[in-house]
Chains A and B, each alone.
Chain A
Amino acid sequence: MGWSLPVIESMQKLNKPFVVVSFPIFESYAKENGIPFVSYQFDEWSDSSNSLDLHEKLKAFDVDVAVPLFEETVEWAGALNSIYRDDPKVLNRAFLFRNKAMMKRKALIGGLRVGLFEEVHSKEGVKNFMKRLNEANLQIEGEEDSWVHIKPFASAGTVGHRLLRSMNDVDEKCEDGDFPCLAESHLPGTEFSCEAFVHGGKIRFLNITEYVKLGYSNFIPEGHYLHTKRDKIMKEMQKLVDIFGIEYGMIHPEWFLTANDELSFGEVACRIPGGHILELAGKAYDFDALGAFVLCHDPNLSEEELNEILPKFDVRPKEFYGNVMIYPQKNVINKLEIPDELREEPYFLDHNLIPPLTNQKIDSREGFGNHFGTVNFKGEDPDRMTELLLHYENVDFYH
């Protein structure tokens, strides 16, 4: 569910029967290229546009499992899978992924460590939240306010995510359109994400993605230090799978590891993660990560097929793959310049940066703004990788 050419390519190569459900604008391309397609207006929910109707339409294709590729298709897939598996809770679980407050509450009940959080409805609500947080942190007059993050209940990745460092920030950065949303305390520590391929309620393969800087750069597999925590992470991950009752598919949670070795849960998604993570994972572990993502959703997948598509559980790749997303740093840009030092960098693999138009203006930023492409690196030393990703995040490629 959702339009992705790389996933379509993967399905064809795996020789698996499939049908793409997506918006009508893709229909003609699908027809021309012989891609089985059902057009559906996901953003419409009515008497004539709903999961029962879609279920009817898909009968012709003999569908027995729905796979959500993007955030917007998570509930639709949940609803269909509820029907296919005859289990209404599958849909309810899908809602968990689409409401960040509900998600956190579930995690808290299940015994995961989370930050303080609250649903807020206005700037005033955020200020009160910050005030209570300041109190709890024993703020003395003149000390800085506690940091608060606000994020929409149901948006992918960093979209709409704002970090507020002071009461002033609340006035300046928040807009009326942001509310209602989730406010939460700032979680300290190293941030990383996991991609757990789950089948039959068990994690069958766990990838750990080390975030060098959220929204900018990450690499796979995890570096030396995080690797020493792999067992601990695995334990928490299985806990998360159990609490949420995930049986099939892939989950992509974000975690924070503090200096004193405690893991805090950030949030979790069950679609294809951003930041080209599956692309990197596929390269690092040499497997068809998108294919594996789709197949894990299928309860009828055989053990052999599962072993064939997933990497061995405890294999540690020799080479690290990382990328950094490049954002222009000026308001008006005219040309793309690849610095010599990058060209001569042995870890540099490739880039897909696009040259700008003459005098292209850069719009104000949504989430982290629109990146202009990615620079990929590959090499054997994760520390060098970290250094490079940090460095290139601040290199201005656009002038």
Chain B
Amino acid sequence: MPNQTITDNKEQNLQEVFHDFSLASKFTKFDKAGKLLGQADLLMESKEGLTLLYQYIKDFTDAGIFEGTAWADPSKLVPRLVSGTLKSGHPNSTIELLSELRILAIAEKHFQSKSFSQNEAENFIQEVIVSNLEFVFNEPLEETRLVMSQHELNKVHAVFRFLSEKIKLDAIKEKLAQELTLICAQRPVVTEGPRKIIALIKEKIELDPNRPEDWSLLKFQRCIYRPTENTADKNAAEYGAFLPQLSTNELKNEASQMGKSMAEFGLVSQYHAVLLLFLIKNEKFALVPPCLALDPAGEARWKMHREFVTDLILQTIHPYNAQCIFGLAKMLEKGILSRDAVRSGLYNLSTVKIHPEVEKRILKSTKTPHESVSPKQYLMGALFRVLGQPLGLGQGNNPTCQSARGISMWSQHAPAKLINMVQTAATVDDLSFRFEGQEIKASETGKGLVQNLDHNLDAVSVTLVPLLDRIYNEMMLRASGRGEDPHKWVNPALYGQWVQIGFASAYDYPSNAIVDFEGFTKIFYAMCHPLYNGGHRLIYPNPVGIFITSAKGEMLGFHAVSLHRVDKDPKGIFRVYFVNPNNEGRQDWGQGIKPSVFGNGENYGESSLPFEEFAGRIYAFHYNNLEAPEKMETVPNEEVLKVKKIAKESWGRAYTWLEIKKKW
């Protein structure tokens, strides 16, 4: 076995480096420790490597790997500080993770520490896990993604998976329930994240239905493993064999239980596909609306397009391609299927042959592809999800917020265009866009922003993003050197002509400074704040550029979000509701600015912030240049100064500020 040879070889090398380290006197210990940490850094990415390191962790500790460092005494370590150390990279992150392995070994009684009991060790690991769930489930926040390399992310994730497999998780039930609630409140298109947590809970935590505090977790678990009473103790096949015994009345009950289970968190079980297909094949059409938990509008549309939707269901849905049932239900409720162009597009897509390269990408993005589900079925299913839950679209661990934002916008406002784009990309693995009268073909452009696509995405995104990313990059190249932010021209060309012509940028290219920030802020208020824009609502999503800042408020980089609406929240505060294509809407941008996803009037998938906090992070947006300038003078100065203070004390520290006035 070649793998065995590699593992043996790695072990030999580790032994050799460790041997040198353990023989070193204090004079060369530091140098030798560097090499040992270098080895550990590389081994941590794989399970085999970690197992090996775990075997040696006692020897490393005894030989003094932690001596003379901040990690010397485990009783002095603080779980809350682990995250920051991990983000600082090798060698700090490596010794930090080795320290976690050491504490795990103490918790598992592989060795004893004078200053740290087994119980303390166990609590420490639990606390570290709770405060680093982004690493456990490999769903890094925007800040994390910007500061950590892919290798560092893989390494940290591998160690956290290792820890969570070994340690008891009972103590963190409440935190996990909260985590699941907040993830599901965003109704993500890709549900691997919550599913992973639920699977982990199933494996690791004994839940008792009689204990009220366990119910919050049990609800999630049942969505996937026991959505109706009749599914208890049956697998999907057994459930399928059981259904014919039910009377129509019993089936009606079954369908509505199933529908409710899906509607609660937007998670779909395998059983759901079995039931839906059974109902369709046995022509129990009246039971389909409860099975999909449709509202009256959705039910009316189901009746109108029954034949068409029945075909779609039979072609696409499968127990191993079940999550799209939720997307389909949402499509029916929103009336997307009532458009001729959408139905034609879906029909066309169902008849094409998928390009082999695209098939490869689709299968790579599917965690456990099932042989009886074709790549086209996965693609159609993903399309249902994207069209049904456009605000739940994520960019994965890719620097492709622009492309993700585009897919999300089109699925809301140009669904037929999106479907057609998916069809073209899927059949020829190429896309063509118009830019200022010229054609840009993805296949004829250079590289995009992403070189190694993270395939932890939906099938629509893996089909489109590699192409969109290159087209976006090419448009940016062609529009650069004009003395202004190229997005002014690129946004309308990429997203669509509904993007307003006026473009406001806080950053001024010729002077390399922030110029007339007060005017910039006034235009923003005049564009979208109901008190100053004439009480108007926003019509189309506005592609907005924001500064990403760290939890300390330091400038980290740029990000693309779309601004959807401005409204009063339940407490009467004006908030901006926006869609962040990052997988996770909950972020910490410093200065107490923490976008929320739940509980402040957000629709599923929206993030929100109080108006001035959002205004304090933006650097570019589009506006109606014929209407807004005359309204900007009504914006009170004190509002503007509040925003300016937020901006100047965070990202603004990275720039020069010029106070001259500009014409907007």
Contact = CB atoms under 8 A, between A and B. Distances in A.
B9 A346 contact: yes
B258 to A, nearest CB: 44
Given A346-B6, A352-B34, A352-B38, A9 B25 contact: yes
A245 interface: no
6 contacts: A6-B31, A9-B28, A344-B6, A350-B39, A352-B38, A355-B90
A5 B28 contact: yes
B438 interface: no
Given A336-B90, A338-B42, A355-B90, A349 B24 contact: no
Nearest to B42: A343
Contacts of B27: 5-6, 8-9, 33
A348 interface: yes
Given A344-B6, A350-B35, A335 B149 contact: yes
Chain B facing A: main interface SS = helix
A336 B38 CA distance: 12
Given A33-B27, A351-B35, 8 more contacts: A5-B31, A336-B90, A346-B6, A348-B13, A350-B13, A355-B91, A378-B13, A378-B16
Nearest to A6: B28
Contact of B151 (A13, A33, A337, A352): A337
Interface residues of A, number: 22
A13 B27 CA distance: 12
Contacts of A12: 25
A352 B16 CA distance: 15
Contacts of B368: none
A370 B39 CA distance: 23
A344 B3 CA distance: 10
Contacts of A346: 5-6, 9
A348 B9 CA distance: 9
A353 interface: yes
Contacts of A355: 89-91
Contact of B38 (A5, A337, A344, A353): A353
B440 to A, nearest CB: 27
Contacts of B149: 335, 337
B24 A9 contact: yes
Interface string B539-565: 000000000000000000000000000
A350 B17 contact: yes
Contacts of B89: 335, 355
Contact of A13 (B25, B34, B45, B90): B25
Chain A facing B: main interface SS = mixed
A344 B24 CA distance: 28
A351 B37 CA distance: 9
Interface string A330-372: 0000011110000110101111110100000000000000000
Contacts of A5: 27-28, 31
B211 interface: no
A352 B149 CA distance: 18
Interface in B579-628: none
A350 B90 CA distance: 14
B339 interface: no
Interface of A: 5-6, 8-9, 12-13, 33, 335-338, 343-344, 346, 348-353, 355, 378
Contacts of A336: 90
Say which size band chain B's interface belongs to.
20 to 34
B26 interface: yes
B38 A351 contact: yes
A41 to B, nearest CB: 23
B35 A352 contact: yes
Contacts of A33: 26-27
Given A33-B27, A338-B42, A355-B90, A349 B17 contact: yes
A5 B27 CA distance: 5
For A5, A336, A353, the residue with the greatest tally of chain B CB atoms inside 10 Å of its CB is A5
Nearest to B35: A350
Interface in B3-18: 5-6, 9, 13, 16-17
Contacts of A348: 13
Nearest to A350: B35
A348 B13 CA distance: 8
A343 B90 CA distance: 15
A349 B42 contact: no
B28 A349 contact: no
Contacts of A8: 27
Contacts of B28: 5-6, 9
B477 to A, nearest CB: 21
Contacts of A13: 25
Given A335-B149, A343-B45, A350 B38 contact: yes
Nearest to B90: A355
Contacts of B6: 344, 346
Contacts of A343: 42, 45
A351 B38 CA distance: 6
A352 B26 CA distance: 18
A349 B16 contact: yes
A8 B42 CA distance: 31
B45 A349 contact: no
A33 B27 CA distance: 9
Nearest to A349: B13
A352 B33 CA distance: 10
B109 to A, nearest CB: 31
A338 B13 contact: no
A376 to B, nearest CB: 8
Interface string B42-74: 100100000000000000000000000000000
A8 B28 CA distance: 9
A344 B26 CA distance: 32
B12 to A, nearest CB: 9
Contacts of B26: 33
Interface string B90-103: 11000000000000
B429 to A, nearest CB: 25
A8 B26 CA distance: 11
B17 A338 contact: no
A9 B45 CA distance: 34
B451 to A, nearest CB: 11
A32 to B, nearest CB: 11
Across the A-B interface, the 8 shortest Cβ-Cβ residue pairs: A5-B27, A350-B35, A9-B25, A9-B27, A343-B42, A351-B38, A352-B34, A346-B9
Nearest to A7: B27
A23 to B, nearest CB: 17
Contacts of B13: 348-350, 378
For B24, B27, B39, B151, the residue with the greatest tally of chain A CB atoms inside 10 Å of its CB is B27
A343 B40 CA distance: 11
Contacts of A6: 27-28, 31
